[in-house]
Amino acid sequence: METFLLLMNGIGTALVPLNLGLLIFGCLIGLFVGAMPGLGSVNGVAILIPITFIVPPTAAIIFLAAVYYGAMYGGAISSIMLGIPGASTAVATVFDGRPLAQKGDAITGLTAAAVGSFVGGTVSVILFTLFAPPLAKVALAFNAPETFALMVMAFATFVGLGGDDIPKTCFSILIGLVLSTIGLDLISGQPRLIFFGIPGFLHGVNFLVLAIGIYGIGEMLWTLESTKGAVQISSIKFTFKDIIQGFRNLKDTVMAMTIGSFLGFFVGILPAAGATPAALMSYGITKQLSKNSKDFGTGVPAGVVAPECANNSASTGSMLPMLTLGIPGSPTTAILLGGMILWGLTPGPLLFTQQPEFVWGLIGSLYIANFFTLILNVALIPAFIMVLRIPFAILAPVIFVLCVTGGYAPTQSIHDVWLMLLFGVVGYVLRKLDYPVAPAVLSIVLGPLAEKAMRQSLIISDGSFNIFFDFSIKPIAATIMYIALVFLFLPLISVMKNKLFPKKT
Amino acid sequence: MNLLKKVAILFVSFSLVAVGTVSAKDFKPKKPIELIIMAGQGGGADEIARLVQGIAEKNDFTSKPLIPINKPGGSGGEALTYVKGKSGDQHTIMITLNSFFTTPQNQTELGIDIIEDYTPLARLLTDTFMVWIKKDGAKTSGINTLDEFLARAKQGDLVMGGTGKMSEDELLLGMMRGMFGFDAKYVPYSGGGAVAKGLIGGESDFTLNNPSEQMGFYQSGDSKALVMMTPKRNPAFPEVPSSYELGYPDLEYYMMRAFVAPADIGAEAQKYYTGVLHDVYMNNEFQKFNIDDGKLLSWIEGYGLSDFFAVEYDKHSEIVAAFN
């Protein structure tokens, strides 16, 4: 009851004209920032921080959270319409969103993204409202061994779901893992795999550089080859009925929404994970558990819903460790945290009791931001669809420019632009040879997290792997680890079964 | 004739003075200024960089905006190389921390000379370090003083969370090992915030965090501080004893927050940026924020800063050598 009153107060705070105006403005900026490759919520929030000095802290956090939130929606737009991940969090949205658009069903893709984001955002903010303080304790109990077990589970789902060709999937995962080890080694402090001594490799291979290269450039080459520069989809009918149909197409995505919302939130509250791994893991697990997992990657609505649901859910979730522990759960919340400190607030266990107006105003604003972005997105679908009417000969240079800026922005180094173009060509060749590229993208995101967690655990356990498998040492880690092993071996068992006992025809 | 000559000389000398003041005063940035941060987002250097950016922008101290860019790669080696390559560029400044001294020594292949390759601007702050334990830690419960802690640490089974290989806190652990004869397992995390969380989550037994990194947990009573590594107590932590009063004056270590620019930017640009930083330094909001945060305001500029760099560089080469 007390929570309810606090929440109502919070929603009241968010509806104050100044706050509401900033919220709507923030959502719009976020949509734009998210949709533009290379801007992304991190840069958006960082650029806007100085503006927030002129308003009170509550209004400031509402504004920045709205930008963050809007960006989670916006990232899906360019992923679906252009095949370029607009933001790192929307990479998994490309996997099925792009094929949907190419099949002429972009409306379903965009509706799935909007609704998925709304559901994920709403579920997570409810979880946040009800369970924030106890969940903060869960986040504290989730240390290195648990994190590593969770990462193993994520990899296991991806091995399993290559489905048709496990060796090629493993190859792709390993390529990603090798790329993820480039740069500075966290434990020994030594540089690793600095090819030809080029200093640009010191900061490692940014995962957006790989994703934009493979999907943006690779996709562009592929489309140019197949369409010869013509309009991609000749006739796009667009009526109100189509949007209704788009909503209907989502009836099979309940499981994706459930997995995306809860997994997303959970991964989000773990410090230093954030929305990108959440979206990728949610996609993998949904695919693994789906009845028609073979169709994933060819354009199924559930493949869009799962990551979109998860990234919104995780973005709310990652505010929890930021507010209660003072630890950012994602790069964007790291900037938000910097902002809070500048506004004179000390994040930490006492923030909820010392600054209730600030905390609950933020939570209240998330409810309202959710509604507003859903309406905005559905209303703007006709405008987004227009993109597909442009001949590809005109669209391709635009995509190319967006890719180059997107590759340059994260680290501001021209080295990464060349690398991105190289990955584009490699991605195109891999596609021609029928290699799945999604696992490589997954492993470059999760690889560093997994490596760090494993090595931290092994230092603590003096090199003993029991820390991951022994229930008496780390029960949570062991449980997750065994589930992961089941995920890993299930598909192998079914493959072997088919080989040993071929079905009689 | 004589009078005319005098007038002419007077006129010439006046105009010379005028030109002199104009040129010294008149460097103005013509485009946005890159503010390179030789560490990652969310860390201590990042926090100060964004504070400086915010205060400079709010009060219009610079005519063009400051654009913070993080280049954390290679313990700051990437940022050092980048700014070294910008020699003569008047629109780049960099915030440095103690890896400014250690990284060039650990990565000699970078060929960095911290005195020759950079123009010193100013040191604004020094941050200090404290020994932290969890309130009811599994192995440290009941410990309330540094001496009790040292006695326990000599059993050799404690785990320390830190910010990365050869970073300040691991060097400091090396220093303490030499001083007190205990050893601990060092587990690196990414950033001071994650280190603080690891302590409260029970993964590590103690940390050597900066004051601000543990502030939230300290205020809520989840963590305890045993010593502040300075001659005097800090007003933000009035009940934590200083290392001097505990009788360990050698246990003194600071983290600097100083700004440099690329080499050969000219005296005018150096003066301009030093002036901007001084405006920020004198700002009330900046002073209050840092005092509340447990940092020490410690302005030095120009040649004083070069001397400080040289002294610290030598001091760190001793610490690094003792460590290896």
Q: Tens digits of per-residue pLDDT, A381-423?
A: 888 877 777 777 888 888 888 888 888 877 778 899 999 999 9
B31: DSSP letter? S
Task: Give dist(CA A145, CA A450) in Å, integer.
Answer: 10
The SS3 assignment for B254 reads strand
CATH number of B33-127+254-323: 3.40.190.150
Q: Which of A47, A53, A194, A325 to mutate to test the interface with B (most CBs of B within 10 A)?
A: A325
Of B54, B69, B194, the CB nearest to A342: B54
Average pLDDT, chain A: 83
Residues 133-162 of B with CB under 8 A from A: 159
The closest alpha carbon to B80, from B43, B36, B35, belongs to B36
User: How far lies A193's CA from each of A164, A181, A182, in Å?
Assistant: 32, 7, 5
Using the predicted structure, report yes or no on whether residue B205 has a pLDDT greater than 90: yes
Q: What is the pLDDT of residue B207?
A: 95
Q: Which chain B residues are closer than 8 Å to A148 by Cβ? A: none
Span A162-168, average pLDDT = 71
d(CA A122, CA A31): 18
Best CA proximity match to A447, nearest among A174, A40, A257? A174
Could A140 and B200 be called an inter-chain contact, meaning their C-beta atoms sit closer than 8 Å? yes
Angstroms from B312 CA to nearest CA on chain A: 21
**B111 vs A: CB within 8 A:** no
Q: Say whether B54 and A50 touch across the interface (CB within 8 A).
A: yes
A158 within 8 A of A284, measured Cβ to Cβ? yes
Q: Does B8 score more than 60 pLDDT?
A: no
Contact between A140 and B81 using a beta-carbon 8 Å cutoff? no
- Top CATH class of B130-228 equals alpha beta
Domain count, chain A: 1
Q: Is A184 on the interface with B (CB under 8 A)?
A: yes
Task: Give chain A's radius of gyration (CA, Å).
Answer: 22
Q: What is the residue-averaged pLDDT of chain B?
A: 86
Nearest to A189 among B165, B190, B220 (CB): B165
Measured between CB atoms, does A391 come within 8 Å of chain B?
A: no
Establish if A505 belongs to a structural domain: no
Q: Which residues are CB-contacts of A260 (< 8 A; sequence separation ≥ 6)?
A: A116, A119, A120, A282, A286, A305, A306, A307, A308, A309, A310, A313
Per-residue pLDDT at B206: 96
Question: CB-side exposure of A272: number of CA atoms within 13 Å?
Answer: 25
Name the band, by pLDDT with cuts 50, 70 and 90, for residue A258. Answer: very high
Least-confidence region, from B13-22, B63-72, B88-97, B295-304: B13-22
Poorest-pLDDT segment among A180-189, B87-96, B103-112, B121-130:
A180-189
Q: What is the pLDDT of residues A78-130, one digit of tens each?
A: 888 888 887 778 888 988 998 888 887 888 889 999 999 999 999 999 998 88
Query: Residue B66 corresponds to which tokens in the numbers above?
Result: 């400051």
Query: In angstroms, what separates the C-alpha of B127 from chain A's closest C-alpha?
Result: 16
B87 touches chain A (CB under 8 A): no
Inter-chain touch B197–A183, beta carbons under 8 Å: no
Asked whether the predicted pLDDT for residue B204 surpasses 80, the reply is yes
Share of chain A above pLDDT 90, in %: 15
Q: Give the pLDDT confidence score for residue B9 in this predicted structure.
A: 55
The 10s digit of each residue's pLDDT in A275-327 is 888 898 899 888 888 888 778 888 899 999 999 999 999 988 888 888 887 77
Chain B touched by A464 (CB under 8 Å): no
Q: Do A184 and B166 touch (CB under 8 A)?
A: no
Confidence of residue B57 (pLDDT cuts 50, 70, 90): confident
The CA distance from A339 to the nearest CA of chain B, in Å, is 8
Work out the pLDDT band at B20, boundaries 50, 70, 90: very low
* Max mean pLDDT range (A338-347, B6-15, B34-43, B87-96): B87-96
Kindly report the nearest CA distance between residue A400 and chain B, in angstroms: 24
The answer to whether A189 faces chain B, any CB pair under 8 Å, is yes
The alpha-carbon gap from B323 to the nearest alpha carbon of chain A, in Å, equals 14
- Pairwise pLDDT comparison (A171 vs A186), residue with the higher score: A171
Least confident among A164-168, A360-364, B246-250: A164-168
Tell me the two tokens of residue A58.
Answer: 């509550």
Q: Which positions in chain A touch B51 (Cβ < 8 Å)?
A: 341-342
ipTM above 0.90 for this complex:
no
pLDDT at residue number A184: 75
- Mean pLDDT calculated for residue range A156-180: 80
What's the mean pLDDT in A55-72?
86
Residue B129 has pLDDT above 60, yes or no: yes
Task: Write out chain A residues lying below 8 Å of B75, CB-based.
Answer: 184, 189
CB within 8 Å: B47 and A189: no
What pLDDT score was predicted for residue B196?
86
What pLDDT digit, counting tens, does each position of A440-480 carry? 888 888 888 889 889 989 988 888 898 899 888 888 899 98
Confidence of residue B263 (pLDDT cuts 50, 70, 90): very high
Is the pLDDT reported for residue B24 higher than 60?
no
Mark which residues 42-81 of A lie under 8 Å from B by CB.
42, 46, 49-50, 53-54
Q: Domain extents for chain B?
A: 33-127+254-323, 130-228
A463 CB within 8 Å of a chain B CB: no
Q: How many CA atoms lie within 13 A of A226 on its CB side?
A: 11
A461 at the B interface (CB within 8 A)? no
How many angstroms away from the CA of A413 is the closest CA of chain B?
10
Of A42, A188, A341, the CB nearest to B165: A188
Nearest to A348 among B78, B167, B216 (CB): B216
Domain with A54 in it = 2-500
Secondary structure class of A130 (helix, strand, coil): helix
**B91 has a chain A CB within 8 A of its CB:** no
Pairwise CB contact (< 8 Å): A199 & B203: no
Mean pLDDT of A351-373: 87
Check CB contact of A133 with chain B, cutoff 8 Å: no
> Which region among A497-501, B198-202, B231-235 has the lowest average model confidence (pLDDT)?
A497-501
Per-residue pLDDT of B87-120, as tens digits, reads 999 999 999 999 999 989 888 888 899 999 999 9
A194 vs A307, higher pLDDT: A307
The B residues from 25 to 84 touching A (CB cutoff 8 Å) are: 41-42, 46-47, 50-51, 53-54, 57-58, 68-69, 71-75, 77-78, 81
Give the nearest chain B residue to A324 (CA atoms).
B216
Contact by Cβ (8 Å): B93, B272 = no
